[in-house]
Amino acid sequence: MITGTPAVGKTSISRLLASKLDAVHANLTELAEQEKLTSGIDKVRKTLIADTDRVSKRVQEIMKSSQRDIIIDGHYAVDVTPAKDVHVVFVLRRDPDELKGLMENRGFKGRKLWENLAAEILDVCLWDAVSACGPDKVCEIDVSGKRVEEVVESMISVLEGRKKCEVGIVDWLGKLETEGRLHDFLKHF
Ligand SMILES: Nc1ncnc2c1ncn2[C@@H]1O[C@H](COP(=O)(O)OP(=O)(O)OP(=O)(O)O)[C@@H](O)[C@H]1O
Ligand SMILES: [Mg+2]
């Protein structure tokens, strides 16, 4: 499973990892859109709202029917996959300054931008992953300043047992607080 805040780089990384491992790449955003597994539109954030029950059923069907390993890519992946079926959850992390740039390139602004940046700063995806699957299956990867190829290599090292699976490797909250910039990110609420 590959999770992380929107725009962190999940899909780019999942694509390359899937091709290297000859695995199936299940992109939850595309799956929900293409198969209309949605329950409405979030007008404020200008996004479709995924119907997580239906996405979950579909993910389980895909897992049952496939002979190959499956890489589930999505920020709500842990909510739609039974923990017993999860081998490892990679939580991608990116420095908020860098992430802000990627989000802005994607057209995120206003509430959608600041909410998602706050989610990264407050470790929301990490917390969700640990709550759903337990700390032993969760592996955080700091992708800040790294190329997709580099990130994929370090994930393969973890999968092959050459590198330790770690959590608690970044502290954006502490960093921004020390720099006196936390308020700049969280003042929008
Ligand atoms: N390692 C990287 N270095 C630089 N840019 C990257 C890297 N990985 C992804 N990007 C760029 O960041 C943007 C977001 O990447 P991507 O679509 O993979 O993110 P995502 O986490 O799947 O987003 P979403 O949650 O919206 O699906 C893209 O423009 C992509 O080209
Ligand atoms: Mg994506």
* DSSP notation for 101-128: HHHHHTT--HHHHHHHHHHHHTTHHHHH
Q: How confident is the model at residue 23 (pLDDT cuts 50, 70, 90)?
A: very high
Q: What's the rounded Cα separation, in Å, for the pair 39 and 35?
A: 12
Average pLDDT over residues 103-129: 97
Task: Please say if the pLDDT value at position 79 is more than 90.
Answer: yes
Q: For the chain, give the mean pLDDT.
A: 97
Q: What's the rounded Cα separation, in Å, for the pair 76 and 118?
A: 16
Which has more pLDDT, 46 or 89? 89
What are the domain boundaries of the chain? Answer: 2-186
Ligand 2 centroid to residue 86 C-alpha, Å: 19
Residues with CB under 6 A from ligand 1: 4, 6-12, 29, 75, 102, 105, 143, 146-148, 151
State what percent of residues in the chain have pLDDT above 90. 97
pLDDT tens digits for range 29-59: 999 999 999 999 999 888 999 999 999 999 9
Q: What is the dihedral of CA 64, 66, 72, 73, to 10 degrees?
A: -140
The pLDDT assigned to 180 comes to 98
Which superfamily does CATH assign the domain made up of 2-186 to?
P-loop containing nucleotide triphosphate hydrolases (3.40.50.300)
| pTM of the predicted model as reported, rounded to 2 decimal places | 0.97
Q: What angle do CA 152, 155, 161 make, to 5 degrees?
A: 145
Is the separation of the CB atoms in 46 and 24 below 8 Å?
Answer: no
- Return the SS3 of 36: coil
The pLDDT assigned to 45 comes to 87
Q: How confident is the model at residue 189 (pLDDT cuts 50, 70, 90)?
A: confident
Is the separation of the CB atoms in 95 and 172 below 8 Å?
Answer: yes
